[in-house]
Amino acid sequence: MQSKVTRIGRMLLPYMIIIIVIILLKLFVVTTVRVNGGSMNDTLLDGDIMLLDRISYRFRDINRFEIVVVHLEEERKDVIYEEDVIKRVIGLPGDKISYKDGNLYVNDTLVEEDFHPKETDDFDISELGSEVVPEDSYFVMGDNRPDSYDSRYFGFVSKDDILGHAMFTIWPLSRFGGKD
């Protein structure tokens, strides 16, 4: 005759395994991320909830115009501030990036941005102390250029600081779908 504890343990084991698998998936594969602020308007809105692919981008190249989540750590007045921000990849390693008259130039060639970003002031990455985006680094910007704290201010982003690719919006349901 089985003890009551053994029977209960066998009944609970599948549920415990499911919970562990869900936790591992959320920690290492896919999780949710909430858009905070208006720096990605009109592509993403404040409060949108997206799925964040934390693993597949590590096995492939990060593409220009991909939406990513970046972990920032900054020291301000001897205090370290940390936050995760959602931005769009504009410059890849080795790229020379500039904006002139609201137009993006990559390596001195005009590049069309088909996601309708808001206009930005003229800018050249040489203002960040480098003529090109450094190796294993990226230049990221929000789509709402006049209201975006991005690489123009905090500099280049290391690949190690990119947490993943924001795949698609899952909430609100009226905005469900991919945004790249």
The answer to the question of residue 17 being in a domain is: no
Q: CATH code at 164?
A: 2.10.109.10
Which three-class secondary structure state does DSSP give residue 6? helix
The answer to the question of residue 42 being in a domain is: yes
pLDDT (mean) for 21-25? 79
DSSP 98: E
The answer to the question of residue 66 being in a domain is: yes
Question: Which residue range forms the structural domain that includes residue 66?
Answer: 30-178
Catalytic residue among 39, 137, 148, 151: 39
Q: What is the pLDDT of residues 35-87, one digit of tens each?
A: 999 999 989 999 999 989 888 777 788 999 999 999 998 777 777 778 899 99
39 part of the active site: yes
- What's residue 173's pLDDT? 87
The DSSP secondary structure of 65-77, one letter per residue, reads T-EEEEEEEEEET
Catalytic residue among 4, 87, 148, 159: 87
Q: What is the pLDDT of residues 121-169, one digit of tens each?
A: 899 999 999 999 999 999 999 999 888 999 999 999 999 999 999 988 9
Between CA 78 and CA 154 the distance in angstroms is: 17
DSSP 33: E
The answer to the question of residue 11 being in a domain is: no
The answer to the question of residue 4 being in a domain is: no
Q: How many domains does the chain have?
A: 1
- Count CB-CB contacts under 10 A for residue 57: 19
The answer to the question of residue 108 being in a domain is: yes
Q: What is the pLDDT of residues 88-125, one digit of tens each?
A: 999 999 999 999 998 999 999 999 988 777 788 899 99
- What's residue 2's pLDDT? 61
The answer to the question of residue 165 being in a domain is: yes
The answer to the question of residue 25 being in a domain is: no
| CA-to-CA dists, residue 2 to 8, 10, 16, 45, 101, angstroms | 10, 11, 21, 56, 78
- pLDDT at residue 3 tops 60: yes
Cβ neighbors of 132 (< 8 A, separation 6 or more) are 93, 94, 95, 96, 125
Residue 38 zone, left/alpha/beta (φ > 0; ψ -120 to 50; rest): alpha
Cα 100 to chain centroid, rounded: 25
